[in-house]
Every structure is written in structure tokens, then in C-alpha cells.
């Protein structure tokens, strides 16, 4: 997992396929810095903070969590930053807060679909001891859109339509023409299957077409150009 520089203000810790670990984004403002997503847990957060230190970058004051899936949100318990998520994401995380993670409870969650079976293998890789899982809910909850002036650039944190789920947000940095899109381009996970939602794909297509950005940072693929992201969506509705 390399720490990549996109510009003087935009960085990300690379994703890892084998463990399904997502990229963690970073926006350096002159006053505040913002992290995009909270990662899989303590080890992932530590890796990110070490990368910042090695690169002389300040720790983030805020972390915007792109959606509730474990690989994006479980790291919240290990963060000092103020965590931000949309209302739908907070709602989806609430049942996991204060849970005692045991084999039995984990099996129930897999059976009920609360945790997609697709995630089991990766959760076990990150947490050989399930009792180490700790889930925190976000500190700040918004609906629609919120803007943080980071100093020298803004972070526009916005709910987006997405086939991946109803709680997806993206972080748009207009000055840099960068969009952190989380898993927003992906299909939804139901059990171990990927299920697309053409209506949401069309809505997302419309939003991306009208947004002035050049690249998006996708949680599991890294940098994608705007035209490649739009081409990917177009293929799914034709």
C-alpha cells in the first residue's frame, strides 16, 4: 500500500485487493486537513497516519466516511478526527454500535444479511479475533451537502445517487477538480452477489456529467479519469 501524491493538496493511501482494503483519501487545507473514509480498523488507520508523518503532512481534523460498509467505517473507533457521515450511513451503522462481537453474533449478522457474506473472508483477515471489532457512529451527521473551507480549498461533502447503496457520499474538491467517490460507482452487494440498479446508475451519470472534475479517486481502483468513470456507467445502462 503506497502513499500516493496526486497534487500538493490531494493524496491517498493505496487500496489493497487481497484484503479488499479501500484507499484512504487526504485533502490538505491550509487550516484543516480532511481524511476520506476511516478504513478497516486500528492497523489501517495507523498505516495512514504513519504515511502522513513520513510526508510531513498534518493529521486530519475531519474524516468523511463515504458509506457504512465495514472497510470504510470500522476505523472510526481509532480516529481522533471528527467523523462525518450522512444520516443514512449513521442509521445503518447504529445497529453495530455497542455490539459484543462473538462468533455467534457474527454468524447471525451474516445470516440476516446485516453483513454481506462477501465481506466475511476480508473481515476475518483484518480481525482474526472478532472481539477486537469496535464500531463508532459518526460525530457529525448531515443530509444533502455540507461544505468545509479547509483553507485554500473547499471540501464539498455530498450525498450522491449510487447503485452501491442509499448512504453513499462523495467528497468533491473543486479547486483541484478531484472527486473522492468511495464505492459510489459500484453495484450493490446482496449476500455474495453484486446487483446493479440502472435507475441509480442513470442518476449518478447525470450528476457526474455536470460536475467539473478531471479525476475521481475510487476506493478499490485508485485514480480513474472522469471519462473512464462515465464510460463504465454508460456500459451498464445501454
Shortest gap between Cβ of 165 and Zn ion (angstroms)?
Answer: 7
Nearer to Zn ion, 79 or 185 (CB): 185
Nearer to Zn ion, 10 or 169 (CB): 169
Closer to Zn ion by CB, 183 or 197: give it: 183
- Which of residues 9 and 92 has its CB atom nearest to Zn ion in the complex? 92
Residue closer to Zn ion, measured from CB, 176 or 183: 183
Shortest distance, CB of residue 183 to Zn ion, whole angstroms? 4
State the minimum distance, in angstroms, from the CB of residue 9 to Zn ion: 25
Shortest reach from residue 161's CB to Zn ion, in Å: 15
Q: How far is the CB of 65 from Zn ion (least distance, A)?
A: 11
Smallest gap from Cβ 67 to Zn ion, in A, equals 6
Whether the CB-CB separation of 24 and 220 falls below 8 Å is answered with: no
Strand 169-173's sheet: what is its strand order? 145-149, 154-159, 169-173, 178-182, 215-218, 222-225
Q: Which of residues 28 and 69 has its CB atom nearest to Zn ion in the complex?
A: 69
Q: Using CB under 5 A as the criterion, which residues of the chain lie in contact with Zn ion when the complex forms? A: 69, 183
User: How buried is residue 173: exposed, middle or buried, by Cβ count under 10 Å (0-12/13-18/19+)?
Assistant: buried
Amino acid at each position: 500500500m503506497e502513499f500516493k501524491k496526486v497534487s500538493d493538496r490531494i493524496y491517498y493511501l493505496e487500496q489493497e485487493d487481497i484484503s479488499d482494503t479501500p484507499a484512504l483519501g487526504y485533502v490538505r487545507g491550509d487550516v484543516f486537513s480532511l481524511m476520506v473514509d476511516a478504513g478497516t480498523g486500528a492497523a489501517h488507520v495507523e498505516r495512514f497516519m504513519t504515511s502522513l508523518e513520513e510526508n510531513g503532512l498534518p493529521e486530519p481534523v475531519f474524516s468523511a466516511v463515504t458509506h457504512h460498509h465495514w472497510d470504510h467505517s470500522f476505523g472510526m473507533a481509532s480516529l481522533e478526527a471528527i467523523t462525518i457521515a450522512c444520516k443514512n450511513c449513521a442509521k445503518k451503522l447504529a445497529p453495530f454500535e455497542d455490539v459484543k462481537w462473538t462468533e455467534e453474533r457474527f454468524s447471525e449478522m451474516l445470516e440476516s444479511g446485516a453483513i454481506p457474506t462477501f465481506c466475511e473472508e476480508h473481515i476475518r483477515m483484518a480481525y482474526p479475533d472478532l472481539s477486537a471489532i469496535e464500531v463508532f457512529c459518526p460525530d457529525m451527521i448531515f443530509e444533502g451537502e455540507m461544505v468545509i473551507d479547509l483553507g485554500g480549498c473547499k471540501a464539498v461533502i455530498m450525498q450522491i445517487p449510487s447503485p452501491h447503496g442509499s448512504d453513499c457520499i462523495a467528497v468533491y474538491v473543486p479547486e483541484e477538480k478531484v472527486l473522492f467517490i468511495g464505492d459510489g460507482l459500484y453495484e450493490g452487494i446482496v449476500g455474495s452477489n453484486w446487483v446493479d440498479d440502472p435507475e441509480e446508475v442513470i442518476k449518478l451519470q447525470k450528476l457526474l456529467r455536470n460536475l467539473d472534475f478531471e479525476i475521481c479517486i475510487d476506493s478499490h481502483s485508485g485514480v480513474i479519469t472522469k471519462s473512464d468513470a462515465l464510460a463504465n456507467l454508460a456500459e451498464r445502462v445501454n
